[in-house]
Amino acid sequence: MPSLVSGVYTEFIGNKPVPKTVRERPIIFIFGPAGVGKTIVAKHLFEDGFVLYKQQQLMEAFLQKVRRRRWPTDLNSEDCLIIEGPCFLEQRPQILMMLQSLIRLRLKKGLRTIILDAEDLGPVRNILRSIPNEERATIVLRFPEGRGRYRFLAHVCRERGIPLRHARRLMGVEPWNYSTVFNDLEALDPVEWMGSLQ
């Protein structure tokens, strides 16, 4: 079964069935640039039964592990855990080893874990290589391109009652990301574009 799948975030949170490997394997890595929807997809995969550790919380948990010689309870016992990969792992080999140790512990206990790519695109990939192929699945998220970009923008504009000319205009924005286009649409003057509909 393929353990690597790629697409835009809407392909993983819509009605389309999630690949079997992503549904069943205990360790899932989600890679992609900042703002591509990694956290949204992770939350959708685990629905509402999960604990999310953001980078700062994870660093505090590592400190607790060093001081008390044990992991916080939810890190080593929660059925579904989402971890934001820490940045600068290349400069912090001890943190990298602790993270690998935590993931192996959870794997041994049969607990599911999603690891989100670090914002600096650091060596979270090194952790991936330490997990056996049959135990992990990988999702690579990207922003929509070409006609896919227009379809996405047109759908958003229709949902909000915004003229499609804004979808065509926003297709060419560079660098293109969800945050930029949503901020642009939020800033539109409703009176101006409502008048253009009449």
155 and 83 within one domain: no
163 and 92 within one domain: no
Percent of the chain with pLDDT over 70: 87
The one-letter amino acid code at 168 reads: R
109 and 20 within one domain: yes
Report the Cα–Cα distance between both ends of the chain, in Å, rounded.
53
pLDDT in tens, 81-118: 999 877 666 666 787 888 888 999 999 999 999 999 87
Percent of the chain with pLDDT over 90: 36
109 and 40 within one domain: yes
Distance set, CA 187 to CA 84, 119, 158, 182, 193 (Å): 30, 27, 16, 9, 12
Q: Are 146 and 66 in contact (CB under 8 A)?
A: no
Burial of residue 130 (number of CB atoms within 10 Å: 0-12, 13-18, 19+): middle
Question: Of 141, 162, 189, which residue sits at a domain end?
Answer: 141
36 and 107 within one domain: yes
Question: Of 141, 160, 178, which residue sits at a domain end?
Answer: 141
Is residue 133 very low, low, confident or very high in pLDDT (cuts 50, 70, 90)? confident
Map tokens 């993931």 to a residue: 103
38 and 12 within one domain: yes
Write down the pLDDT at residue 73: 86
> Which one, of 151, 131, 135, lies nearest residue 143 by Cα?
151
- Residue 134 phi/psi, 5-degree rounding, is -75, -5
What CATH number is associated with residue 57? 3.40.50.300
State mean pLDDT over 146-170: 91
Write down the pLDDT at residue 106: 92
Domain containing residue 173: 146-197
103 and 23 within one domain: yes
152 and 62 within one domain: no
- The count of structural domains within the chain is 2
Write down the pLDDT at residue 91: 64
- Residue 94 phi/psi, 5-degree rounding, is -65, -40
